[in-house]
Amino acid sequence: MGFGDSSLFLKIAFILLIVAFIIQILGVALPYWYELDAGVVETNAGLFKICSEVGSTKVCRNVKNPVDWWAATQAFEIIGLLIIIGALILAIVIIFVKSDMKILKLILWILCFCAFGFIIIGCIIFGAEYGNLYDDGLSGAFAICIINSVVCLVAGVLALLDWKSA
């Protein structure tokens, strides 16, 4: 039992889960889910912080009492992060401790697909509601979370292939 004894599908899924964890932390933490340029004032915001810049002065503040759709996006993205953490821990257990238990591999690919679902639903909520309010663009951290959902989906497919081949 060890990394060298695991299947290629499981190794790649494990590496993708590490990448997904890092990307999701960045996507949730960075204040660049959207950017608004109102001439003199430039504003960018993430899920938990809004920053405004006037000239050379930049002021950031935490998001307090967000509207329902914003809070739903926060919840879905954080739950997605927690599911990724659970999948990563389970992948470590499968690789290094109990590689012969098929049920653990089944749970791993289910967790990967759940992470994909929560993250992409959070992005859909934010994109739909934000699009109803503003014409300006969604920004980098929003795109990072969408990309991360695809990474989780690919990790889930690989975990499914590993489960099928076991």
Locate the DSSP E strands across 2-47: 34-38, 41-45
Cβ contacts of 126-134, under 8 Å, gap ≥ 24: 126/33, 126/69, 126/70, 126/73, 129/69, 129/70, 130/34, 134/34, 134/36
Give a yes or no: residue 97 inside a domain: yes
**pLDDT over 80 (residue 4):** no
Give tens-digit pLDDT for 65-123.
Answer: 999 999 999 999 999 999 999 999 999 999 988 777 889 999 999 999 999 999 999 99
pLDDT tens string 17-50: 999 999 999 999 999 898 888 778 888 889 999 9
Q: Is residue 134 part of a domain?
A: yes
Between the alpha carbon of residue 120 and those of residues 19, 27, 38, 77, the distances in Å are: 17, 12, 29, 8
CA distance 116 to 87: 12
**Residue 83 belongs to a domain:** yes
- How many other CB atoms are found less than 10 A from the CB of residue 17? 28
- Its domain, for residue 7, covers 3-32+66-165
pLDDT at position 15: 95
Asked if residue 130 is part of any domain, the answer here is yes
In a domain, 24, yes or no: yes
For residue 50, tell me if it sits in a domain.
Answer: no
pTM assigned to the model: 0.90
Distances (CA, A) of 37 to 22, 52, 133, 134: 29, 10, 14, 11
How many domains would you assign to the chain? 1
